[in-house]
Amino acid sequence: MFQTDGKMDDNRFFINESINDRGIFKAVYMAGHSGAGKSYTLDRIKSGSIEPRIVNVDRYIEYFGKDYEPEYYDKSKLLLKKQLALYIDSVLPLAIDVTAATPNSVVRRYGILEFFGYDQAMVFVNCSLETALERAEKRERKVAPEVVRSYYEEVKRLKGYLKQKFSPFIEVNNDVGELTDEVVIKAFNKMESFYNSPIRNKLGQESVTIMRENKWKYLSDGVYTRKEIENMSSMWYY
């Protein structure tokens, strides 16, 4: 998939999407505190006609079968950044799993995708602190209660800012018994509408025009250099 020198591989044929597919230049952030159930909620509400690529470092850590040990965490972040560069190069729809407890990270990532022309929405998953603590305790990879409490308060404090930053901003309640079929269908329809809506970002609009005129499939065919895509993606994590 990737060259050992860390550069993007020329053999990108395994990505079949094209500039004419739906969902291009669209990214949805799954945000909330630890234990809110973001991944579970995403599985229930993600668009049926479009399969977004999941951006979540936990998937790589689980692949290694290790906890958050520095060696494997750093390796997982490196792999995620390389994969993200390929996704962006192919203008694929994205679903990004974040806690939203660190505003600098959210703003930085928003800026990276905005630079490449992406429209960005957020699904904000709520649950009570008590439920979050219970779920954290049951997880195989434990999160200390004080960490859960800290993230809970910080995310709650930032919610107003996130509402202004992302459009649409979709709130989903995932406390015990609250993620009903009605709630799922409502959120599903909003995500479906976002992924299928016309691109709003002017940079994305311009890139689509240029790529279609030249019959380019990738941003690196001429809109950006591969080095630019790699460098910007490398800033996903500091």
For each of the chain's 238 residues, which pLDDT tens digit applies?
Answer: 333 344 444 444 344 456 878 899 999 999 888 888 888 898 888 867 788 999 988 777 777 765 666 677 788 889 999 999 999 999 999 999 877 667 788 889 999 999 999 999 999 999 999 999 998 888 777 778 898 898 888 888 888 999 999 999 999 999 988 999 999 999 999 999 999 999 999 999 999 999 999 999 999 999 999 999 999 999 998 7
Q: How many CA atoms lie within 13 A of 45 on its CB side?
A: 35
pLDDT given at position 151: 87
| Coarse DSSP helix, strand, coil percentages of the chain, rounded to the nearest 5 percent | 50, 10, 35
pLDDT given at position 34: 82
87 touches 94 (CB < 8 A): yes
Domain range summary for the chain, segments of one domain joined by + = 26-236
The whole-angstrom separation of Cα 199 and Cα 33 is 29
Between the alpha carbon of residue 61 and those of residues 67, 126, 196, 210, the distances in Å are: 7, 25, 31, 38
Query: Between the CA atoms of 112, 200, 25 and 46, what dihedral angle is there, to the nearest 10 degrees?
Result: 110
Which H/E stretch holds residue 214? helix 202-214
The whole-angstrom separation of Cα 27 and Cα 118 is 7
Classify each residue of 185-198 as buried b or exposed e, where b means 16 or more C-beta atoms within 10 Å of its C-beta.
eebeebbbebbeee
165 touches 110 (CB < 8 A): yes
Q: Which pair of tokens denotes residue 92?
A: 């694929």
pLDDT given at position 5: 40
Architecture of domain 26-236: 3-Layer(aba) Sandwich (3.40)
- Residue 15 DSSP SS3: coil
33 touches 145 (CB < 8 A): no
